[in-house]
Homo-oligomer: A and B are copies of this chain.
């Protein structure tokens, strides 16, 4: 059962090339871009891709491992911060910055959700416990509103993530939403100035007639749906 441990150098190299290609392709074409596109971009045969990552899930998971690592670290840092509110803010801002900056990650983040709870909950449980502790401390410090619930943090992250997924180019909107949310979580209302608003317009959202090319290009589906 003990695997060779010694991996051929070219294999390791190819693995990295595939991961980089996957990030690029997922960022450009969405999480369900053809596997072949990833392989081509990596300069590698499909078989090699499938050998390293038997399923799309495995590939996505590995491709964004660093990002998840960053999230996880941000939680630890938040917990270690001298002021729990600062910790909370740090957590939110770190995760949201990741959503904003790492193209394709929001989709992976959202996609991770529905199937999240079932098994493996090892690290998940721990994260939950840490979050609960952080929230309790921040509430007790008086900075966080007393009716704040840990799930509100998740709610905020998912909402932000969903917005970024829909509007991947609007960093202004992302920053502004984060600022609004953080302000609404404070117990007092230190109305710190908000970052500048985005250029979003109501556009055709309420319009009845729609031009061509409206929704067709990658018609989008709800990320969280059991097959």
Q: Which residues of A contact B (CB under 8 A)?
A: 29-32, 55-57, 60-61, 65, 68-69, 71-72, 75, 104, 106-124, 127-128, 131, 145, 147, 149-168, 173, 176-177, 180-181, 183-185, 189, 191, 193-194, 197-227
Contacts and interface: CB of A to CB of B under 8 A. Distances in A.
Contacts of A203: 113, 116-117, 121, 124, 128
Contacts of A220: 30-32, 107, 110-111, 221-224
B184 A72 contact: no
A220 B104 CA distance: 11
Nearest to A76: B206
B152 A204 contact: no
Contacts of A147: 193-194
Given A162-B161, A220-B221, A221-B220, A69 B173 contact: no
Given A31-B215, A123-B207, A173 B202 contact: no
Contacts of A184: 180-181, 183-184
Contact of A205 (B104, B113, B213): B113
Residue in A114, A205, A221, A224 whose Cβ sees the most chain B Cβ within 10 Å: A205
B113 A167 contact: yes
